[in-house]
Structure 1
Amino acid sequence: MGMSYRRYLAGARVYGCSNCRTHLATIHSMVSRAFNGQHGRAYLFDDVVNVIEGEPSDRQMTTGNHTVRDIYCCKCGVILGWKYDKAYDPQQKYKEGKFILERSLLVDVQ
């Protein structure tokens, strides 16, 4: 396996992995702060970098059934949240292709 390259983000506010500070997303890609994760508050993002996606699985969540995949930091491997692949409720379709990052697992890197 070759060397993995990480993307570095620039902007007013960059969120990174709280374990290794690898850049993950900017404030400009944040869609909502009104989400909950497994460990408390969470943010919904349009785009996230430097993550590895796990296998898809169906999960029953507070907003209904979704197909999601866990996302992990590409450097240290800590689980950061999940990606929505499919929402079965038509009112939840806006989440498809977006990412949840748990606030307790993030740090401001800039």
Structure 2
Amino acid sequence: MAEMVGRRLYSCCNCRNQVALHDDVITKSFQGRNGRAFLFSHARNIMVGPKEDRQLMTGLHTVADIYCCDCREVLGWKYERAYEEIQKYKEGKFILEKLKIDKENW
């Protein structure tokens, strides 16, 4: 498990496992399953589940749910493939739901 000491970051709300740096936030204006979500360029200390096609608000995408590697809490998903050209910027990026993460070192 990678530890990110002294930097503003986000951790799993369930077990406090550090999952993302504030510097990796691309935008905070996404919608998750349970409300607001953030789009990140990177996520750490996670496990990526199986890929599946999912119809989202912005169209069809291939995504994989992401889980905290400590407690197995579902935190969001990873965009594996976007079928529409305008959505390609999401590929390889991570959605973390605001309700599933907490701020640390703020």
What TM-score range do you get, normalising by the shorter chain? over 0.9
CA distance in 1, matches of 2:36, 2:8: 18
**Alpha-carbon offset, residue 10 of structure 1:** 3.4
Does the 8 A contact of 1:21 with 1:109 survive in 2? no
The structure where strand makes up a greater share of residues is: 2
**Corresponding position of 1:14:** 9
Does the 8 A contact of 1:72 with 1:79 survive in 2? yes
Instruction: Determine which of 63, 84, 90 is the counterpart of 1:89.
Output: 84
**Alpha-carbon offset, residue 108 of structure 1:** 1.2
**Corresponding position of 2:93:** 98
Q: Secondary structure at the match of 2:77?
A: strand
2:28 pairs with 1:36: no
Q: Secondary structure at the match of 2:71?
A: coil
**Corresponding position of 1:57:** 52
Instruction: Determine which of 14, 17, 26 is the counterpart of 2:21.
Output: 26
Letter in 2 for 1:45: F
- Deviation string 1:8-36 (CA, Å, 9 cap, x unpaired) is 11354110000000001111000000101
Q: Give the percent of matched residue pairs that are identical in Structure 1 and Structure 2.
A: 47
- Superposition misfits of 4+ residues, deviation over 4 angstroms: none
Count of residue pairs the alignment pairs up:
105
**Corresponding position of 2:64:** 69
Letter in 1 for 2:54: R
What's the Cα RMSD here?
0.8
Structure 2: unaligned runs, 5 residues or longer: none
CA distance in 2, matches of 1:81, 1:12: 22
